[in-house]
Structure 1
Amino acid sequence: MAGPDGEATPEEDGRPGVLAWLRSLLLWLGLALLLRWQVLEPRWIPSGSMLPSLNLQDRVLVEKLSPHRSRPPPPGSVVVFRPPDALVDAGYDPTSALIKRVVAVAGDEVAVRDGALVRNGTICAEAWLQEPMRYELAPVIIPEGNILVLGDNRNASLDSHLWGPLPSQRIIGRAIWRYWPLRRFGPVAVRDGCPAAS
């Protein structure tokens, strides 16, 4: 149908109208927000607790789907999580997020002895750590629905060696990709120095 001056309307000559363009923009914006809130979330590293694996101010993408399925993240994964009750009770901001490495899951017995992590009776070979741990952790069996998390900078990390196992429902997601700085662009390494249970 021609317009009042006899020329074709934008819809007739193949050009989308403003309304169609706005609909498309809103659809893409909605998809982007859905991805941001439900699938992938950008985060930055606020401390040195994950050195040398993640540096202060590194930027990572956090995948948010897999931790909310039936299985917890496997040992060696790097997870982002809300602080446990023990930290919140001590005044930590409940809306903040921490990032640490999973070292044990439900059913594992874990301890720190003579500067090394021991899981299920076996000393773990964590070659990426810069120094041995300068603390001890009495053996603990991780309860169902919990994981144990430690920073890679073990002697300067606020983690499970201080407040115990982390309830899995506190997990926001798994850090999967470092996108900044570009010279360190690539996947976040899954590092588990403990042999798998046989």
Structure 2
Amino acid sequence: MTLDPRQQEIYDAWCREQAALGAVPPRAAFDPVAFPRALSTLVLVERIEDDALCFRLVGTDMVEAWGGDFTGQRLDEIMEGEYHGFIRGLFDECIARRGPIFSQSRFQWDKGRALDTRRLMLPFRRDAESEDIAFILVSQVFDHGKQGPPQPIVQAGKTFEIIELKREHLPESPRS
């Protein structure tokens, strides 16, 4: 696993909060503004009625990489097909585990163009009294290296391939 330093900072903070509480932290325990270096990589997703996922915060790196701001939209409104299934599966796994997960994958658009991405997903309860996971915080970083297109627009693409390079359940305690 190779977390980006911005992701590591958020992961360490989540682990400290989880260790102090002995439970998944409530959403109020995390203020995105407290992580200015990571803020542009963040996406905050809320579980709403019918178990739908709604994007509440979308960082500027995500807006740039995806070609638009999807704040206020539901996952099923911006993604479909295999890609929707893949991303929804990551969210569902994080919710079911009640713990952090890391996923590294490669997207391939057209022929021969690829873009690597790393996702850190952290669960949060709605509040201190609730046990349900109501929010998932995602920090997603992209490798805009030589292989990737300068401005991928994933939600508009109908044909692509996802190659998951790594998926890992992360420990729920701070690093030693």
Is this a same-fold pair by TM over 0.5? no
TM-score, normalised to structure 2, is: 0.24
TM-score, normalised to structure 1, is: 0.22
Q: Which has the higher helix share?
A: 2
> Highest Rg: 1 or 2?
1
